[in-house]
Amino acid sequence: MEEKEKDEALETKKEEQVEETIEEVDATDAEPDKESKKEKKNKAKDAKSKLEKENEDLKAELANLKNEYLKVFAEMENTKKRLKSEAVNDRKYASQKVCGELSQPVDMLVQIVNMPAPSPEVQNYVIGFQMIANQISDILKNEGLVKIEVKAGDVFDPKNMQAVQTDYDESKEENVVLKVMQNGYMYKDRILKPVMVVVNKKPQEEKEENK
């Protein structure tokens, strides 16, 4: 009987040892699982940080591309406006060169036909040339060519006059026009040719003596 009890006790002890061994093995197997979860968490965190950085980089790249697009768009709009303005000016001032080249010979023709004729026969020819000169002048005027009206006694204006010579007339104020040497012309809103004038200027020697 005692032997049987001893065997049973021994058997119970073995079973307990086996259970303890199993628990230790289970506990040992659980550690890698815990470590694996931690690694997965760290990897997920790293992946999230990487995605956030890529997202920020993409936002910065998008903003840069948007700025570049706006710059290119603004340049294109400015180019379109400039080309449109140039096209308008080309049409507006299309006759400028021709008017400029014809202004001087027509001006000379007008001066010649307005001179006194030496005889009645010549006067008949002069009348015909006057009509031609007036017709040409009217055509040029319709195209936008306008004579700049300047006469002796007007104050010199460098905007539409050019002093080709100076003289001094003490009976007149300084800086006034003494004589118009050549007519000047406007083409629409542009100065095509300034008026060539003689300007009244006191000699420098006289100025210094009067000081």
Give the rounded percent of residues in the chain with a pLDDT score beyond 70: 80
- pLDDT of 1 over the 70 cut: no
> Between residues 191 and 23, which one has the greater pLDDT?
191
Greatest mean pLDDT range, 22-26, 39-43, 87-91, 168-172:
168-172
Residue 48: what residue type?
Answer: K
Convert 66-93 to b/e letters by CB count within 10 Å (16 or more is b). Answer: eeeeeeeeeeeeeeeeeeeeeeeeeeeb
Q: Report pLDDT for 183.
A: 93
Element holding 44 (H helix, E strand)? helix 2-92
Element holding 146 (H helix, E strand)? strand 145-148
Q: By the 8 A CB rule, do 201 and 167 touch?
A: yes
Q: In 93-186, where does DSSP find H-type helix?
A: 96-113, 120-142
Q: Give Rg (Cα) of the chain.
A: 52
pTM of the full predicted structure? 0.58
> Between residues 208 and 63, which one has the greater pLDDT?
63
- pLDDT of 181 over the 70 cut: yes
